[in-house]
């Protein structure tokens, strides 16, 4: 909530990959983790989340498989690939570049 989509846009993939670096996971859990980490300040819209994982899978950054839940709703688990790991490292670099650039450009002394 409250965070404009355009400010996160371009980082959704990195956020998802960062989560999957730790362990395999499924959509809802990824979102719950983000909520927890941000103290409820942010979570993906479902459409955004599922669009993103599909994009990442198509791009070869993750693979997916159905969990064997004996109870509860079925879950589609995602696992990061080696390409996904490389992409993640690259996205971190991109973020650091962009962050420095923006910090450099949007602050002015006199306001």
Partner DNA sequence: AAATATACATTGACACGCGATGTAGTTTGC
Partner DNA sequence: GCAAACTACATCGCGTGTCAATGTATATTT
φ/ψ of 40, rounded to 5, equals 80, 0
Residue 5's nearest CA partner among 33, 40, 47, 36 is: 47
Tell whether residue 76 is a contact of DNA (CB under 7 A).
yes
Q: What is the DSSP string of 38-86?
A: TTTS----HHHHHHHHHHHHHTTSEEEEE---SSSS--EEEEE-HHHHH
Q: Is 87 in the site for DNA (CB under 7 A)?
A: no
Closest distance to DNA from the beta carbon of 32 (Å) = 7
Q: Counting contacts by CB under 8 A, is residue 54 touching a second copy?
A: no
Residue 57 or 85 with smaller CB distance to DNA: 57
b/e code 65-81 from CB counts within 10 Å (16+ = b) = eeeeeeeeeebebbebb
Q: Dmax of the chain from CA atoms?
A: 62
x/- track of binding to a second copy for residues 66-105 (CB under 8 A): -------------------x--xx-xx-xx-xxx-xx-xx
Q: In whole angstroms, how close is the CB of 71 to a second copy at the nearest point? A: 30
Residues found near a second copy in the complex (CB under 8 A): 2-11, 14-15, 18, 21-22, 34, 37-38, 41-42, 85, 88-89, 91-92, 94-95, 97-99, 101-102, 104-108, 110-111
Q: Which residues bind DNA (CB under 7 A)?
A: 4-6, 8-12, 26-29, 32, 44-48, 50-55, 71-77
């Amino acid at each position: 909530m409250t965070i404009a989509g355009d400010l996160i846009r371009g980082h959704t993939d990195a956020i998802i990959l960062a989560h999957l670096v730790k362990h395999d996971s499924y959509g809802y859990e990824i979102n719950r983790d983000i909520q927890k980490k941000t103290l409820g300040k942010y979570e993906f819209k479902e459409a955004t989340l599922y669009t993103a994982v599909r994009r990442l899978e198509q791009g070869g950054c993750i693979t997916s498989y159905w969990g064997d839940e004996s109870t509860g709703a079925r879950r589609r688990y995602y696992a990061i690939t080696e390409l996904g790991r490389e992409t993640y490292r690259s996205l971190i670099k991109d973020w650091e570049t962009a962050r420095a650039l923006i910090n450099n450009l949007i602050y002015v002394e006199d306001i």
